[in-house]
């Protein structure tokens, strides 16, 4: 899987859906929901950066991060099925 690809965004959205952030989603308003998504993206960047630390030639730009965040947000808004669940797709819309 390529870093910051559509598949990567779908994978991050799936992990978000299974996280404590998703369980607390309905407790918060618009600004905190944005922050929850940002937190998930920053966690992913930290993981990607530590995985690539052996190869210091791999870098990502601010544009890559913003585009990746929008891809993840789009995946969350279009719906994600929680793992190990028969429930229907769950949508995480920031603006309701």
Can you tell me the distance from the alpha carbon of 45 to that of 47, in angstroms, rounded to the nearest whole number? Answer: 5
**pLDDT for res 81:** 74
**Mean pLDDT in residue range 68-76:** 93
Confidence at residue 46, expressed as pLDDT on a 0 to 100 scale = 82
Q: Which is higher by pLDDT, 58 or 92? A: 92
Closest C-alpha among 28, 10, 27, 15 to residue 82: 15
Please report the pLDDT score of residue 72 as a whole number: 93
Q: Where are the domains of the chain?
A: 6-78
Model confidence pLDDT, tens digit, residues 8-62: 899 999 999 888 888 888 899 999 999 999 999 988 888 776 655 555 566 778 8
């Amino acid at each position: 899987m390529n870093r910051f690809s559509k598949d990567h965004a779908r994978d991050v959205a799936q992990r978000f859906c299974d996280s404590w952030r998703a369980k607390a989603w309905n407790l918060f308003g618009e600004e905190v929901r944005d922050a929850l998504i940002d937190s998930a993206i920053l966690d992913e960047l930290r993981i990607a950066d530590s995985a690539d630390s052996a190869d210091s030639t791999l870098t990502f730009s601010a544009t890559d991060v913003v585009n990746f965040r929008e891809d993840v947000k789009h995946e969350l808004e279009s719906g994600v099925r929680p793992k190990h669940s028969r429930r229907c797709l769950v949508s995480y819309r920031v603006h309701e």
